């Protein structure tokens, strides 16, 4: 089942045409990678898919809920991790935080639960950033450079989490300037000169 369909997406910043004609389909249970050099427009594309940014032209059709994990952690420095979960529980309209607790364990940062975010390391902030995007188990997960700052063990746990989401028919789109785990992806696209090219494997 198609969960997201982006058609003829175009985006420019002044005279710089970042995205010239991007088409992308995302089906349930798929893991898609988008690779590109720095400044190639990956984050712009993901923001458009997430509804954070308007495209100049084109359309994005979505069938389901979107979880978006931005490149820079978007958190509130005056709150603790537990308070973030409480806040997002209210926002998502969730009844319990059992899956969130599971994510805390899986990503190995349970011991920081009552720490204020301003005291956390970059890697732990990224774990929180990711958890906030996943905790309501959205249909489509859009991840912008999601494993920045992760240690090796967390990196492996991260992939295990994505596998778990895939098994539950969630779609995951990961963008990165470096993708090592090619075999984990169902499709990999290269964003170059404003167009996406599917990698032949």
Looking at 35, 66, 143, 174, which residue binds another protein (CB under 8 A)?
66
| Residue 119 binding another protein, by CB under 8 A | no
Which sign, positive or negative, has the C-alpha torsion 33, 39, 40, 44?
Answer: positive
Looking at 1, 37, 39, 57, which residue binds another protein (CB under 8 A)?
57
Looking at 29, 62, 99, 148, which residue binds another protein (CB under 8 A)?
62
Structure token digits, residue 52: 């954070």
Looking at 82, 83, 169, 186, which residue binds another protein (CB under 8 A)?
83
Binding-site residue total for another protein (CB under 8 A)?
47
Q: Comparing C-alpha atoms, which of 148, 183, 133, 173 is closest to residue 33?
A: 173
State the SS3 of 85-132.
Answer: HHHHHHHHCCCCCHHHHHHHHHCCCHHHCCCEHHHCCHHHHHHHHHHH
Looking at 7, 25, 28, 148, which residue binds another protein (CB under 8 A)?
7
> Residue 37: which residues within 8 A CB-CB, separation 6 or more?
177, 192
Query: Interaction with another protein in 13-52: which residues (CB under 8 A)?
Result: 20-21, 23, 48-52
Looking at 68, 85, 158, 185, which residue binds another protein (CB under 8 A)?
68
3-class SS of residue 41: coil
User: Nearer to another protein by C-beta: 11 or 166?
Assistant: 11
User: Nearer to another protein by C-beta: 24 or 31?
Assistant: 24
Minimum gap (Å) between residue 115 Cβ and another protein = 13
Looking at 1, 37, 87, 105, which residue binds another protein (CB under 8 A)?
87
Residue 200 is classified by DSSP as P
Torsion of CA 84, 85, 87, 89, to 10 degrees: 160
Minimum gap (Å) between residue 128 Cβ and another protein = 12
| Residue 136 binding another protein, by CB under 8 A | yes
What is d(CA 118, CA 169) in angstroms, rounded to the nearest whole number?
Answer: 35
User: Nearer to another protein by C-beta: 93 or 152?
Assistant: 93
């Amino acid at each position: 089942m198609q969960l997201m369909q982006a058609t003829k997406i175009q985006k420019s910043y002044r005279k710089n045409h970042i995205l010239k004609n991007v088409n992308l389909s995302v089906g349930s249970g798929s893991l898609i990678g988008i690779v590109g050099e720095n400044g190639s427009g990956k984050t712009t594309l993901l923001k458009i898919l997430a509804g954070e940014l308007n495209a100049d032209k084109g359309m994005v059709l979505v069938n389901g809920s979107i979880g978006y994990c931005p490149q820079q952690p978007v958190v509130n420095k005056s709150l603790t991790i537990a308070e973030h979960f409480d806040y997002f529980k209210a926002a998502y309209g969730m009844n319990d935080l059992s899956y969130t607790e599971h994510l805390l364990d899986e990503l190995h940062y349970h011991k920081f639960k009552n720490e204020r975010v301003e005291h956390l390391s970059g890697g732990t902030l990224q774990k929180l950033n990711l958890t906030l995007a996943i905790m309501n188990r959205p249909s489509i997960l859009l991840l912008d450079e999601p494993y920045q700052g992760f240690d090796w063990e967390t990196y492996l746990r991260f992939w295990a989490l994505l596998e778990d989401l895939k098994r539950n028919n969630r779609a995951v789109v990961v963008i990165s300037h470096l993708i090592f785990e090619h075999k984990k992806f169902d499709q990999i696209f290269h964003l170059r000169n404003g167009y996406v090219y599917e990698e032949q494997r």
